[in-house]
Amino acid sequence: MQSETDCRDGRGACRLRKTIRSRAFWVCLCMAAAAISLGERSASATMVDLTPGEGSSGTVNGALFEFDDQQPFGTGKVQSFLRIRASRNEEGYNTDNPDPAFDEVPPPGGFTRDLRFGDLMQTAGSFLFALDINEPAGERQSLLSLDALQIYISDTGGQNTSVLSDLGTLIYDLDAGSDSVVILDFNNAPGSGVSDMLLTLPASVFAGVSPDDYVILYSRFGDTERSGAGFEEWAHVVPEPASFSLIIAGLVGFSLLRRARRD
Ligand SMILES: [Ca+2]
Ligand SMILES: [Ca+2]
Ligand SMILES: [Ca+2]
Ligand SMILES: [Ca+2]
């Protein structure tokens, strides 16, 4: 074994060993740095797995994605505004344009349409959107990935551009910061007309948006778990009628109380 004393004379072989040790040190350092970098990247990537069904949820960039089979489509509780349908991959955004850019089931028909911010209603300080997916029931085929979700605000409706950045001001992006994905399983809430996922966006996401502004929701499915069978449908959720009843009952009660006090 080479000792420290052996190296003091600076002989060539010793210098070479020192150089090798030095290079090995820097190679190790670079590999460690790369490993840390990769670790950071994978740590920031998010997969929200909703396949366990009841009780599963995850948060990405401030938005809550949770399994939900409580929103019956076709009722007044949810207002549909976007249907997308294609095999393997599918993408699209809501618009009144009868010649949409991607895989939207085209208007007219009332299901793919423009949406104004004034149409949305808050529920407990948030805006809620429901997603109803339709996939083959077979094992694995029943899975579907939501690979991209972006929400834009614009003063222009009826768009059909395929350049997403032209849609307006981006206010939410599932993939901001890192590539994220939400995995759904049709078999947890089988059948069309029943929601599979609830998206909750804090009202702060829409800060400064005017009632007349258009809300444009773009989504892409099928990159991670392919799409098939029927369409995927987005809707915004309106507060339960019971909530209105309680508000009205409260107002009536308050009015009666004031009158009683005056009398
Ligand atoms: Ca469904
Ligand atoms: Ca599938
Ligand atoms: Ca993604
Ligand atoms: Ca489908």
Q: How far is the CA of 49 from the centre of ligand 1 (A)?
A: 16
**Residue ranges with CB less than 5 Å from ion ligand 4:** 134-135, 227, 229
What per-residue confidence (pLDDT) applies to 8? 43
Q: How far is the CA of 2 from the centre of ligand 4 (A)?
A: 69
Q: Can you tell me the distance from the alpha carbon of 159 to that of 88, in angstroms, rounded to the nearest whole number?
A: 25
Q: Can you tell me the distance from the alpha carbon of 98 to that of 112, in angstroms, rounded to the nearest whole number?
A: 9
| Domain identity same for 182 and 127 | yes
- Name which of 114, 132, 148 is nearest 216 in CA terms: 114
| Domain identity same for 22 and 51 | no
Q: Is residue 133 part of a domain?
A: yes
| Domain identity same for 84 and 38 | no
What per-residue confidence (pLDDT) applies to 107? 87
Q: How far is the CA of 218 from the centre of ligand 3 (A)?
A: 12
Ligand closest to 223 (CA) is 3
Ligand closest to 175 (CA) is 3
Q: Is residue 263 part of a domain?
A: no
CA-CA-CA-CA torsion sign (130, 136, 138, 143): negative
Whether the per-residue pLDDT at 57 is higher than 70: the answer is: yes
Q: How far is the CA of 134 from the centre of ligand 1 (A)?
A: 5
| Domain identity same for 123 and 156 | yes
| Domain identity same for 178 and 85 | yes
Q: Is residue 92 part of a domain?
A: yes
| Domain identity same for 82 and 129 | yes
What are the E-state strand segments in 90-178? 90-93, 126-132, 143-154, 169-173
CA-CA-CA-CA torsion sign (86, 53, 173, 115): positive
Average pLDDT, the chain: 83
When pLDDT is cut at 50, 70 and 90, the band that residue 240 belongs to is confident
Whether the per-residue pLDDT at 6 is higher than 90: the answer is: no
Ligand closest to 146 (CA) is 3
DSSP 70: -
Condensed to tens digits (0 to 9), the pLDDT of residues 30-42 reads: 344 443 443 443 4
Ligand closest to 192 (CA) is 1
Q: How far is the CA of 49 from the centre of ligand 3 (A)?
A: 13
Q: Can you tell me the distance from the alpha carbon of 63 to that of 202, in angstroms, rounded to the nearest whole number?
A: 7
Q: Can you tell me the distance from the alpha carbon of 87 to that of 231, in angstroms, rounded to the nearest whole number?
A: 10
Q: How far is the CA of 177 from the centre of ligand 4 (A)?
A: 28
Higher pLDDT pick, 223 / 259: 223
| Domain identity same for 83 and 184 | yes
Condensed to tens digits (0 to 9), the pLDDT of residues 178-224 reads: 999 999 999 998 877 899 999 999 999 999 999 999 999 999 999 99
Q: Is residue 170 part of a domain?
A: yes
Whether the per-residue pLDDT at 68 is higher than 50: the answer is: yes
Whether the per-residue pLDDT at 109 is higher than 50: the answer is: yes
257 C-beta neighbours (distance < 10 Å), count: 10
Q: How far is CA 60 from the centre of its chain?
A: 7
Q: How far is the CA of 165 from the centre of ligand 2 (A)?
A: 28
Whether the per-residue pLDDT at 23 is higher than 70: the answer is: no
Q: Is residue 80 part of a domain?
A: yes
Q: Can you tell me the distance from the alpha carbon of 153 to that of 167, in angstroms, rounded to the nearest whole number?
A: 8
Q: Specify the residue for token string 């911010």.
A: 117
Higher pLDDT pick, 160 / 30: 160
Ligand closest to 229 (CA) is 4
Q: How far is the CA of 73 from the centre of ligand 1 (A)?
A: 9
Q: How far is the CA of 155 from the centre of ligand 1 (A)?
A: 32
Q: How far is the CA of 145 from the centre of ligand 1 (A)?
A: 14
Q: Name the residue range of residue 15's domain.
A: 5-42
Q: Is residue 249 part of a domain?
A: no
Q: Which amino acid is at 139?
A: E
Ligand closest to 46 (CA) is 3
Q: How far is the CA of 158 from the centre of ligand 3 (A)?
A: 26
When pLDDT is cut at 50, 70 and 90, the band that residue 160 belongs to is very high
What per-residue confidence (pLDDT) applies to 241? 65
Q: Can you tell me the distance from the alpha carbon of 131 to that of 127, in angstroms, rounded to the nearest whole number?
A: 14
| Domain identity same for 82 and 169 | yes
- Name which of 205, 97, 184 is nearest 133 in CA terms: 184
Q: Is residue 105 part of a domain?
A: yes
| Domain identity same for 56 and 166 | yes
Q: Is residue 102 part of a domain?
A: yes
Whether the per-residue pLDDT at 14 is higher than 50: the answer is: no
| Domain identity same for 27 and 68 | no
Ligand closest to 86 (CA) is 4
Question: Cβ distance 214 to 82 under 8 Å?
Answer: no
| Domain identity same for 122 and 104 | yes
- Average confidence (pLDDT) over 168-175: 98
Please name every residue paired with 88 in a beta bridge, in sequence order, or none if there are none: 227
Alpha helices in 102-157 (DSSP H): none
Number of domains in the chain: 2
Question: Cβ distance 82 to 152 under 8 Å?
Answer: no
| Domain identity same for 123 and 238 | yes
Question: The pTM is what?
Answer: 0.77
